[in-house]
Amino acid sequence: MRTQQLFDVNCLSCPNRNCSLLNCCDDNWVSFINDNKTVLHCKKGHHIINEETPVNGIYFILSGKVKVYKTGLGNKKQIIRLARNGDIVGHRGINRKFWPISATAIEDSFICFISNENFEKVVMSNPKLGYQMVLFFSDELFRSEEIVKNLSSLMVREKVAYALMKISESYPVFGNKIQEILLSRQDIAELAGTTKEQVSKHLNEFVKENIISFEGKRILVNNFKQLEIIANFHSTR
Report if residue 203 touches DNA, rule: CB under 7 A. Answer: yes
Question: Which option in a second copy, DNA, none does residue 100 bind, with CB closer than 5 to 8 A by kind?
Answer: a second copy
DSSP of the chain, one letter per residue?
Answer: -HHHHHHT--GGG-TTTTSHHHHTS-HHHHHHHHHH-EEEEE-TT-EEE-TTSBP-EEEEEEESEEEEEEE-GGG-EEEEEEEETT-EE-GGGTT-SB-SSEEEESS-EEEEEEEHHHHHHHHHH-HHHHHHHHHHHHHHHHHHHHHHHHHHH--HHHHHHHHHHHHHHTS-B-SSS-BEE---HHHHHHHHTS-HHHHHHHHHHHHHTTSEEEETTEEEES-HHHHHHHTT-----
Report if residue 26 touches a second copy, rule: CB under 8 A. Answer: no
Report if residue 144 touches DNA, rule: CB under 7 A. Answer: no
Report if residue 7 touches DNA, rule: CB under 7 A. Answer: no
Report if residue 153 touches a second copy, rule: CB under 8 A. Answer: yes
Report if residue 196 touches DNA, rule: CB under 7 A. Answer: yes
Question: Which option in DNA, a second copy, none does residue 236 bind, with CB closer than 5 to 8 A by kind?
Answer: a second copy
- Contact map string, positions 86 to 125, toward a second copy, x by CB under 8 A: -----xx-xxxxx-xx---------------------xx-
CB-CB neighbours of 86 under 10 Å = 19
Q: Which residues fall within 8 angstroms of residue 141, CB to CB, at 6 or more apart?
A: none
Report if residue 148 touches a second copy, rule: CB under 8 A. Answer: yes
CB 64 within 8 A of CB 107: yes
Identify the residue among 12, 27, 117, 142 touching a second copy (CB under 8 A). Answer: 142
Question: Which option in a second copy, DNA, none does residue 156 bind, with CB closer than 5 to 8 A by kind?
Answer: DNA
Of residues 31-90, which lie at the interface with DNA (CB under 7 A)?
A: 74
Minimum Å gap between C-beta 35 and DNA is 38
Nearer to DNA, 138 or 213 (CB): 213
Identify the residue among 38, 53, 144, 184 touching DNA (CB under 7 A). Answer: 184
Nearer to DNA, 87 or 158 (CB): 158
Please state the separation of Cα 121 from the chain's center in Å. Answer: 25
Identify the residue among 88, 156, 178, 220 touching DNA (CB under 7 A). Answer: 156
Of residues 161-220, which lie at the interface with a second copy (CB under 8 A)?
A: 193
Cα–Cα distance, 104 to 109 (Å, whole number): 10
Which residues contribute to the site for DNA (CB under 7 A)?
74, 155-157, 184-186, 193-201, 203-204, 214, 216-217
